């Protein structure tokens, strides 16, 4: 009987701890927090964002009117094949994940650059890269003119 109680307790503890795996706490796409910003790229980096996943393309964007800096999480590096450059103009639609005087983070759903629109997440915020890079050969859905 004691063993059965221990197993049940272990299962409860595992279920309670599951939210701590995967995404960082408070770091998820929230459609109610969606904003659109326009600005110039100040910095481009590739850094790990999620445990045991490939690095993400991250850009620091200076907002056109307010000059506020936003850290924009684009997508896994292997998924996104568009080249960005410092000083390039971008329009980003995405979910604001943190707000404050010093730090503004956005998870991008859509990025517009050089006349093209890159759809990175669906209207509910689910990544278009889910299911792996090879899923139907997708590398970001594009709209707009081709170069």
CATH of the domain at 53: 2.40.50.140
The enclosing H or E element of 71 equals strand 69-76
3-state DSSP assignment of residue 80: coil
- Domain membership flag for residue 17: no
The total number of structural domains in the chain stands at 1
Does residue 13 lie in a domain region?
no
User: What's the half-sphere exposure (Cβ side, CA atoms, 13 Å) at 74?
Assistant: 31
Q: Average pLDDT in the 111-138 region? A: 78
Residue 14 lies in a domain: no
CB 142 within 8 A of CB 118: yes
- Which DSSP state fits 53? S
Residue 42 lies in a domain: yes
Structural domain includes residue 54:
yes
Structural domain containing residue 90: 26-144
Q: What is the pLDDT of residues 69-108, one digit of tens each?
A: 999 999 988 888 788 899 999 999 999 987 566 778 999 9
Residue-wise pLDDT tens digits, 7-64: 565 566 555 444 444 444 457 899 999 999 999 999 999 988 777 778 889 999 999 9
The pLDDT of residue 100 is: 63
For tokens 């990175």, what's the residue? 120
Backbone angles phi, psi at 20, to 5 degrees: -80, -10
Q: Is residue 64 situated within a structural domain?
A: yes
For residue 121, being part of any structural domain is answered with yes
Nearest partner of 82 among 47, 54, 110, judged by Cα: 110
Residue 75 lies in a domain: yes
- Say if CB 80 and CB 139 are below 8 A apart: yes
Cα separation of 140 and 80, whole Å?
A: 6
Farthest CA pair distance, the chain: 70
């Amino acid at each position: 009987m004691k063993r059965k109680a221990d197993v049940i307790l272990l299962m409860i503890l595992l279920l309670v701890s599951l939210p701590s795996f995967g995404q960082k706490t408070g770091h998820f796409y929230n459609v109610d927090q969606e904003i659109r910003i326009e600005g110039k790229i100040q910095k481009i980096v590739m850094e790990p964002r999620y445990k045991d996943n490939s690095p993400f393309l991250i850009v620091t964007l200076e907002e056109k009117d307010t000059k506020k800096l936003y850290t924009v999480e684009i997508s896994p590096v292997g998924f996104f094949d568009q080249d960005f450059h410092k000083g390039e103009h971008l329009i980003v639609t995405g979910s604001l994940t943190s707000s404050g005087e010093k730090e503004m983070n956005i998870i991008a759903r859509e990025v517009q650059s050089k006349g093209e629109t890159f759809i990175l997440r669906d209207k509910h915020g689910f990544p278009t890269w889910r299911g792996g890079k090879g899923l139907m050969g997708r590398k970001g859905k594009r709209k707009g003119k081709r170069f």
